[in-house]
Each structure stands twice: as structure tokens, then as C-alpha cells.
């Protein structure tokens, strides 16, 4: 009996255990599902409302907003002052957290919301902006520029004040609320964009460290040169010095990706009316930029008075850097000009708060910046300034490095494009661009009257003899100071209306024969030559011929280097089946870096192995990252060694042996990544991008929500369809085409454009990533320009009205 009872007890316990272990997962799943549903509906409740009418205080008349099927707003009103105010409102509606993020990045305040990993970058941003002569960045604006800016800011703040309970989820996740926007916030975003778009502050520190590590003779083999530059003077103070400090400690890709997406070059061209099917000039441009989520560009269309402006805006800034106004079209890409230099300061060894300048000791100015850090105690950091600029390195033997940058006092980006957006003729466009200080941009333009051209704009220093813009010069003598700036009228331009084609890409600014020194950090002329090659294949230029340029995936480097690679591969002998097959596929390849190309994958694998073999060991991991981050540096040395036969860098090693070894490593890596048969390899299988959002560093869950990708991509760092991969994280694409635009100046103008993500920064919005698939395929969308077309494009229409009492007073 007792045994039976024990058996029954055990049976019952087992049954209940079975039930418990069945029910618990179900309950957990239901709870998780309920939580997920709650989160889903909570986030949906924070999305901008689909309002039909909005009362907006300060309007002088009603304004209609028409959103097309991709969520891009068309803003139609009677007066400019009203449409820009509504632009501020709808931009905040779509991008408020992104605008606040960019503002905080420009102010050096990201650690407040994202934690200590952002502190060094915050301190750097405050350092390069410290001690400016004018704290108010809007001080030099004229009345009309200031009024436009004020109305935009008023619209942004109106949205924030009326939607305090419906702000983007990012504010709740990060547990803070945005402050009202100001003029300085808007102009500060321009400063941050200019800074992150500068080549020099990213490359100069790396090459300075390499100079100290390798010594003059060895390091100069790596340094780029320019025909108009003297050989750089190398002072003995730099011997053996591998500087540390603000500009010298950046390692790895991710921190840079998640601060501010700077420009990384681009291609722009315009064709005269005699060469187009429409009989009117055409313009094309592609902006190369660090790729992030949310998408960078904010597209909008404004109609008021005689303004018809359609284009791409920086989030938080009310001017279009690319677009059309019916009379003109323009597109801008960053130019490979050197706008910053390091200088060696001589400090008093007994009192390092003094520095020598020309004839006497002078006091180092010191500022203290306080930083609030999410989850940590606040900290204070010192900023030290000399007459040259902020000190950005440690003190070593009475020496420190300071930085001079053209954009430290402001960029004039906003007033330059405010005027360009309203230009009706070429002369007005060129006058507008004269105001630009930073960043240096190549701006292509085409006007309805038939003219087209291209102008490099921005301040470029006049350096003294002995300075190549790379090696830090002594600051204490005064003999190596900048001698002002190259006059605007002498900067490279192609404004002869009889020219059939004008073009600029990432090559030497002004071309091979331009007599003045603008910098050493340009790429080869391969992209510009490829544009000319493609355009030359058509008798008449059309939207299709321009689109073919934008989708072109031919690698000039591969076209030149593959024959050398094939020779080395065929001389290897004793290869296994996979290696022989890879060589066969490479030999039949057309140099197109297409996503489904096996040949493209084999070449890229070999080039990656070649770069690692050439630079990783001699430079070390930290400086390898910095050196290869600016891809023309490695590419120029590869050309120098394997195409020009200047093999000093190899220290006696046979270039053929280096190439053979790289090919063998490439096949080995390819087999581990894509399987044993090279015929099955595809470039897009390993070459892809993930659009990273700043919030995703906080949790895996947020990463799943916000990240977009991986997206397989064609192209490479030297193709027109730009998709540069990280050499330290092969083959992750970090820089790509962030904006494509084609415009035909027929009347009315036709405008086509696309960006990688979508119009909205709200990740649950249907417009968060609805352009990504089309962008990856190289497509563009036609955009309405005329008021009637904008009005008819709408799937969603909102009427903005003055407040009732204001309407009565206006009546």
C-alpha cells in the first residue's frame, strides 16, 4: 500500500511538473508578446499624427503641405517667411531626434545622452571650437539671412512645444528632453559637418605618427605628394615622436561612424545644352559620405512668391546643398583640398603655460570645459590655446602640437547656400559661393539660360615654401605661418559656357596642370576620366546616360592592376584547384565590381591581402587603421610600387613575390568566407553595409530595431558607384553614395534623386527605410518641381493656418 501511494504521489508530481513546464513557456511567450504589442503600440502612438489642419502661431497666411508616397514634403505658401517656418515644423516632425543628435554632436555633448565612450570626441569638438573671436555664429548674417533662420527655428520650436507628449521614442529611451533650438545650434551643425568632412585632421595626425615611428626616409615613401608643393621640411623635434592626444588616439571605425557623418568626396558634372537631347544643360552629382541610420539628407520642396526650391537639406539647416530653383540647378561634393595643418609649439620647460612666439614668451590661454556623462559623475577637462590654435597632443621635451583649421571661426556654409538657393544666373551663383569658408566643395551648376560650370569654393591656405601641408611646421619662428588664403578668383573653376562637359571627382583639384598648391590628399584622376569615357559613348546626353554614370561599377585600379596580378598568379606554380580557378575567373573578368561578380570578389580579396601585407606589420594596428581609412593613400602607394616600378618600400622583396603571396592569401580567405569553389563567389556576399544607429550600442534589442542591413552592395572605393570598405573590418562598407541627383534644365526643370534610407527618422514609420532597396540598385525617383505637380503628388495633405486670433487680425 505504501509503495503504491508513493508511486501515485510521484505520478501526480510528474504530471504537475509536466504541466508547469508546459505552461510557463506559454505564459512567458504571452507576456513577451503582450510586452512586444505594448511596445509596438506605444511607439506607434509617438509617431507624428496624420493631421489635416494645424494652427501655427506666427504664420501670415495658410500654407499647404503635400507629402508624396515616399513621405517627402512639398510646402506651398504665399510668402517665404511662412514656408520656411513650416519647413522647420515638418522637419522636426520627421527628424527631431536626429536634429538634436547632430546639434549635440556639434556642441560636444553626446556623452550626456550616450555615455562615456563619447567623451573624447566631445572634448575634441569643444577644443576645435574653443576661443573663437565671435561666440555668436550668426553675427555676420545679413537681415534677410537672419530672418529666414529665425523663422525656421521658430517652426522647429513650435513643433516641440505642441508635441511634448509625442516626441520620438529616442528621448524616452535616453531619458532626456530637447532644449529649444537657436540660431547658433543650426550654424553649429554646419561647423560639425565641415569638421568631419575635412581630410587633413584625419590624415595629418596619422602621418605624423608614422613619421616618428619609421623615420624620415622610410615614412616619406608613404607620403603623398603634389606637383605644386615643395618637399616638406622635417624638423628634428619630430624624430621618434609618436604623438598621443586628442587627434591621435582614434582607433577603430565605429566611434567615428556614430558621431557625425562627414563627406568623403563625390562626383559632379554638367553638360552643355549642345550635347543633350533636351537642348538644355544637364547636371549630375553623387555625394560620398559615411553611411548611417537614420538617413542623412532631408528632401523637401518649397514654393512661395517667386521661390520654387526643391532639394536636399542637412537635417536642422534650412538651405539645400543640392537641388533646383527653376532658374538653376546645383550639386556639391567635397573637394580634396587641405584646410588644416599641425604646428609644433615650443613650450617653456620650466613653465609649460608659456610658449615662444617670434620674439617673446606668451601665456597659453586655458579654458575649462565641464562634461556631464550619462551614468557617471561629471568631469572637467582643460583646453589650451596658442596663437596658432588649440593644443592637440601631449607635451614632449618642451614641444606640443597645435592645430590650425579654416573653419574654426565659422563656415559661412549657411549664407553661401542661402544665396545659391536663390541664384537665377551664373554670376549670382558664383558670387554666392565666394562667401564659403569651410568645407571646401566642388559645386557644379547649370542654368536655364544654357550655361553650366563648376567652381571650387572654400578657403585654402597659402603655405610658405617647405610646407606640404602634411609635416608639422615650427610655430615659434612665425616663418611657417599661413600667408592668407588663395583668392577665390584663382581657385579651380570651369565656367566657360562653350565647354561641352565640366566635371570634378576625387582627383587633384583643378587637374594636373593647375599651378597652385591645394593639398596632397587627392585620389588619381580615374573617376573623372571614367565619367568622360561614359559620357563620350553617347551622342546625346539624357537621364539614362547620366544614370549609367551613377551606376557605373568599373574599378580603374582593378583595370590597371589586374594584368600585373595575373602575371604573378600564373608564375606561382603548384597551385591547387581553387587557386587555378580563381586565376581563370580573374583573367576573364571585366573589372566591374558588380554584386554578383566572382572576379570582383577575387580582386577585392587580393587587394585587401596586398594592403595588409604592405602596411599592417610596419605600421602597427593603430596606424594601419588611420592610414587605410583614407583609401587613396594605400592605393597611390600600390600604384607606385606595382605599376610605376618604384619598389623602395618593399626593402628588397620582389614585388612579384608580394603579389603571389597576396593572391594565395586571398584564395584562402575567400574559401573560408564563401566556400571552396571560386565560381560560386559573389562580391555582394561579403561586401555589404549595415546602417548603424547611435542608439544600437546600448542593447542588442535596439540594434535589431534600428539597424538596416546587411545590404549587399556593388562598387568599391574607386568606382563611381562608391562603396569603400573598411580595411580593418573587411569587407564592411563604411562610406557610400549618400545622395544621387540628376537635373535637366528644360522648362520646367526635371529633377531625379534618391538617398539610401527614407524621409523619416522614426524607425516604425513606413518611410524609415523605404528607399533603401531602390538606392542599392542605383535607381532614382522623379521629383515634382512645379507647384501643380507638387500639389498632385500628395497622398497626405496638411493645411497650416495662423491661429484664429491672428487670422481675424489679418482680415
Confidence of residue 707 (pLDDT cuts 50, 70, 90): confident
- Residue 706: what pLDDT? 84
Question: Is pLDDT of 22 > 60?
Answer: no
pLDDT of amino acid 9: 35
Residue 83 has pLDDT above 60, yes or no: yes
The x, y and z cell numbers of residue 49, run together, are 499624427
Contacts of residue 428, Cβ cutoff 8 Å, sequence gap at least 6: 419, 422
In the chain, where are the structural domains located? 1-46, 556-591+596-686
Containing 771, the helix (H) or strand (E) segment is none
Poorest-pLDDT segment among 227-231, 260-264, 515-519, 521-525: 227-231
Whole-number pLDDT of residue 560: 96
Check pLDDT > 60 for residue 424.
Answer: yes
- The residues, any chain, with a CB within 8 Å of residue 82's CB and separated by 6 or more, are 59, 60, 61, 63, 151, 304, 800
pLDDT at 47 over 80: no
Q: Rounded to whole angstroms, what are the CA distances from 476 to 76, 131, 347, 355, 386?
A: 57, 20, 9, 8, 10
Q: Look at residue 744 in the predicted model and tell me its pLDDT.
A: 96
Q: Return the higher-pLDDT residue of 290 and 703.
A: 290
In this predicted structure, the answer to whether residue 572 has a pLDDT above a threshold of 70 is: no
Assign 325 to helix, strand or coil: coil
Q: pLDDT-based confidence at 470, cuts 50/70/90?
A: very high
- Distance, in Å, from the CA atom of 426 to the CA atom of 448, rounded to the nearest integer, reads 10
The answer to whether 301 and 309 are in contact (CB under 8 A) is: yes
For 556-591+596-686, CATH gives 1.10.1400
Mean pLDDT lowest among 146-150, 570-574, 735-739: 570-574
pLDDT value of residue 15 = 39
pLDDT tens digits, one per residue of 67-76: 999 999 999 9
d(CA 459, CA 435): 9
The owner of cell 591547387 is: 576
- Is residue 287 within 8 A of residue 737, CB to CB? The reply is yes
With 70 as the cut, is the pLDDT of residue 26 above it? Answer: no
- How far does Cα 72 stand from its chain's mean position? 21
* Residue pair 228/642 in contact by the 8 Å Cβ criterion: no
**What is the mean pLDDT of the segment spanning 625-644?**
94
Quick one: DSSP state of residue 516?
S
Q: How many angstroms separate the CA atoms of 486 and 470, rounded?
A: 18
Cis bond upstream, residue 439 (ω within 30)? yes
Per-residue model confidence (pLDDT) at position 134: 74
Structure confidence at residue 21 as a pLDDT band (50, 70, 90): very low
147 with 78: CB under 8 angstroms? Answer: no
Strand partners, 531: none
Give per-residue pLDDT as tens, 295-323.
999 999 999 988 999 999 999 999 999 99
Q: What's the pLDDT score for residue 806?
A: 53
* b/e per residue 674-697 (b: at least 16 CB within 10 A): beeebeebbbbbbbbbbbbbbbbb
Q: What is the model's pLDDT at position 683?
A: 98
Q: With H, G, I as helix, E, B as strand and everything else as coil, classify residue 712.
A: strand
Mean pLDDT of 741-757: 94
139/155 Cα distance (integer angstroms): 21
Q: Please list, in sequence order, all residues whose beta carbon lies within 8 angstroms of the beta carbon of residue 643, skipping any fewer than 6 positions away.
A: 560, 561, 564
Q: Which helix (H) or strand (E) holds 277?
A: none
3-state secondary structure of 2: helix
Please enumerate in sequence order all residues whose Cβ is within 8 A of that of 129, keeping only pairs 6 or more positions apart, or say none: 108, 191, 408
Mean pLDDT calculated for residue range 546-563: 97
Task: Assess whether pLDDT exceeds 60 at residue 7.
Answer: no
Other beta carbons less than 10 A from residue 525's beta carbon: 16
Q: What is the mean pLDDT of residues 604-627?
A: 95
Write out the three cell numbers for 621.
Answer: 594596428
**Lookup: cell for 696:** 544600437
d(CA 293, CA 721): 20
On the question of pLDDT at 176 being above 50, the answer is yes
Locate 437 and state its grid cell: 569658408
Per-residue pLDDT tens over the stretch 573-614 = 567 899 999 999 999 999 999 999 999 999 999 999 999 999
Question: pLDDT value at position 132?
Answer: 80
Predicted local distance difference test score (pLDDT) of residue 31: 52
Instruction: Please state, in angstroms and rounded to a whole number, the distance separating the CA atoms of residues 286 and 546.
Output: 11
Residue found by looking up cell 525617383 in the block? 781
**pLDDT surpassing 50 at residue 231:** yes
pLDDT above 60 (res 404): yes
Reduced to 3 states (helix: H, G, I; strand: E, B; else coil), residue 632 is: helix
- The x, y and z cell numbers of residue 333, run together, are 561634393
Average pLDDT over residues 334-342: 96
d(CA 125, CA 701) in angstroms, rounded, equals 30
Mean per-residue pLDDT, 662-671:
95
Specify the pLDDT at position 170.
92
Model confidence band, residue 793 (pLDDT cutoffs 50, 70, 90): confident
- Whether the pLDDT of residue 148 is over 50: the answer is yes
Average pLDDT of every residue of the chain:
90
Cis before 294 (ω within 30): yes
pLDDT at 574: 61
The 10s digit of each residue's pLDDT in 258-287 is 688 999 999 999 999 999 999 999 999 999
Using the predicted structure, report yes or no on whether residue 1 has a pLDDT greater than 90.
Answer: no
- Of residues 507 and 500, the one with the higher pLDDT is 507
Which residues, in sequence order, are bridge partners of residue 304? 307
Amino acid at each position: 500500500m505504501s509503495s503504491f501511494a508513493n508511486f501515485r504521489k510521484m505520478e501526480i508530481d510528474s504530471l504537475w511538473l509536466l504541466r508547469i513546464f508546459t505552461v510557463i513557456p506559454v505564459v512567458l511567450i504571452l507576456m513577451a508578446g503582450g510586452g512586444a504589442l505594448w511596445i509596438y503600440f506605444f511607439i506607434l502612438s509617438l509617431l507624428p499624427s496624420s493631421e489635416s489642419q494645424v494652427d501655427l502661431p506666427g504664420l501670415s497666411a495658410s500654407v499647404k503641405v503635400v507629402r508624396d508616397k515616399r513621405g517627402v514634403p512639398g510646402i506651398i505658401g504665399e510668402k517665404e517667411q511662412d514656408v520656411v517656418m513650416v519647413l522647420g515644423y515638418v522637419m522636426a516632425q520627421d527628424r527631431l531626434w536626429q536634429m538634436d543628435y547632430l546639434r549635440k554632436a556639434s556642441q560636444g555633448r553626446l556623452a550626456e545622452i550616450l555615455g562615456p565612450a563619447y567623451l573624447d570626441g566631445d572634448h575634441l569638438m569643444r577644443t576645435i571650437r574653443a576661443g573663437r573671436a565671435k561666440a555668436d555664429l550668426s553675427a555676420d548674417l545679413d537681415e534677410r539671412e537672419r530672418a529666414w533662420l529665425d523663422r525656421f527655428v521658430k517652426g522647429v520650436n513650435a513643433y516641440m512645444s505642441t508635441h511634448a507628449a509625442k516626441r520620438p521614442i529616442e528621448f524616452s529611451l535616453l531619458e532626456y528632453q530637447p532644449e529649444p533650438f537657436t540660431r547658433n545650434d543650426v550654424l553649429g551643425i554646419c561647423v560639425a559637418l565641415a569638421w568631419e568632412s575635412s581630410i587633413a585632421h584625419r590624415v595629418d595626425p596619422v602621418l605624423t605618427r608614422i613619421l616618428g615611428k619609421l623615420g624620415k626616409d622610410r615614412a616619406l615613401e608613404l607620403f603623398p605628394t603634389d606637383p605644386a608643393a615643395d618637399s616638406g621640411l622635417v624638423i628634428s623635434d619630430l624624430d621618434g615622436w609618436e604623438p598621443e592626444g586628442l587627434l591621435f588616439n582614434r582607433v577603430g571605425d565605429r566611434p567615428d561612424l556614430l558621431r557625425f557623418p562627414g563627406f568623403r568626396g563625390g562626383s559632379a558634372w554638367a553638360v552643355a545644352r549642345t550635347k543633350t537631347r533636351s537642348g538644355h544643360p544637364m547636371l549630375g552629382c553623387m555625394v560620398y559620405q559615411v553611411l548611417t541610420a537614420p538617413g542623412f539628407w532631408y528632401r523637401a520642396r518649397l514654393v512661395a512668391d517667386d521661390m520654387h526650391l526643391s532639394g536636399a537639406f542637412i537635417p536642422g539647416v534650412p538651405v539645400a546643398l543640392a537641388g533646383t530653383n527653376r532658374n538653376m540647378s546645383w550639386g556639391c561634393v567635397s573637394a580634396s583640398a587641405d584646410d588644416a595643418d599641425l604646428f609644433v609649439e615650443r613650450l617653456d620647460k620650466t613653465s609649460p603655460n608659456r610658449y615662444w612666439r617670434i620674439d617673446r614668451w606668451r601665456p597659453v590661454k586655458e579654458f575649462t570645459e565641464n562634461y556631464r556623462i550619462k551614468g557617471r559623475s561629471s568631469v572637467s577637462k582643460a583646453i589650451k590655446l596658442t596663437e596658432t590654435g588649440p593644443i592637440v597632443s601631449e607635451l614632449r621635451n618642451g614641444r606640443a602640437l597645435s592645430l590650425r583649421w579654416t573653419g574654426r571661426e565659422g563656415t559661412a556654409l549657411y549664407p553661401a547656400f542661402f544665396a545659391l538657393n536663390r541664384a537665377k544666373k551664373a554670376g549670382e551663383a558664383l558670387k554666392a559661393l565666394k562667401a564659403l569658408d569651410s568645407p571646401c566643395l566642388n559645386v557644379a551648376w547649370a542654368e536655364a539660360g544654357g550655361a553650366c560650370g563648376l567652381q571650387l569654393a572654400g578657403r585654402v591656405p597659402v603655405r610658405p615654401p617647405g610646407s606640404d601641408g602634411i609635416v608639422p611646421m615650427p610655430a615659434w619662428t612665425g616663418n611657417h605661418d599661413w600667408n592668407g588664403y588663395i583668392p577665390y578668383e584663382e581657385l579651380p573653376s570651369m565656367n566657360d559656357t562653350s565647354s561641352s562637359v565640366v566635371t570634378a571627382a576625387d582627383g587633384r583639384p583643378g587637374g594636373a596642370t593647375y599651378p597652385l598648391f591645394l593639398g596632397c590628399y587627392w585620389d588619381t584622376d580615374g573617376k573623372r576620366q571614367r565619367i568622360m569615357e561614359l559620357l563620350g559613348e553617347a551622342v546625346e546626353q539624357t537621364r539614362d546616360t547620366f544614370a549609367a554614370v551613377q551606376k557605373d561599377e568599373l574599378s580603374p585600379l582593378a583595370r590597371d592592376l589586374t594584368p600585373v596580378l595575373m602575371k604573378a598568379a600564373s608564375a606561382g606554380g603548384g597551385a591547387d584547384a581553387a587557386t587555378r580557378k580563381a586565376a581563370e575567373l580573374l583573367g576573364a573578368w571585366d573589372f566591374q565590381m558588380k554584386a554578383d561578380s566572382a572576379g570582383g570578389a577575387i580582386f577585392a580579396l587580393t587587394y585587401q591581402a596586398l594592403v595588409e601585407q604592405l602596411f599592417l606589420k610596419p605600421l602597427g594596428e593603430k596606424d594601419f587603421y588611420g592610414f587605410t581609412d583614407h583609401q587613396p593613400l594605400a592605393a597611390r602607394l600600390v600604384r607606385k610600387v606595382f605599376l610605376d616600378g618604384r619598389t623602395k618600400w618593399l626593402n628588397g622583396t620582389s614585388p612579384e613575390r608580394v603579389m603571389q603571396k597576396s593572391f594565395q592569401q586571398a584564395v584562402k580567405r575567400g574559401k573560408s568566407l564563401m566556400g571552396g569553389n571560386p565560381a560560386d563567389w559573389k562580391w555582394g556576399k561579403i561586401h555589404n553595409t549595415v546602417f548603424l544607429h547611435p542608439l544600437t550600442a546600448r542593447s542588442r534589442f535596439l540594434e535589431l530595431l534600428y539597424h538596416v542591413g546587411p545590404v549587399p552592395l556593388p562598387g568599391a572605393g574607386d568606382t563611381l558607384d562608391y562603396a569603400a570598405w573598411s580595411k580593418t573590418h573587411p569587407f564592411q562598407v563604411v562610406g557610400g553614395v549618400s545622395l544621387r541627383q540628376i537635373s535637366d534644365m528644360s522648362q520646367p526643370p526635371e529633377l531625379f534623386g534618391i538617398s539610401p534610407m527614407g524621409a523619416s527618422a522614426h524607425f516604425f514609420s513606413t518611410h524609415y527605410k523605404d528607399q533603401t532597396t531602390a538606392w542599392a540598385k542605383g535607381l532614382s525617383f522623379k521629383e515634382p518641381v512645379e507647384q501643380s505637380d507638387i500639389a498632385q503628388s500628395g497622398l497626405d495633405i496638411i493645411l497650416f493656418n495662423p491661429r484664429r486670433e491672428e487670422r481675424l487680425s489679418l482680415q
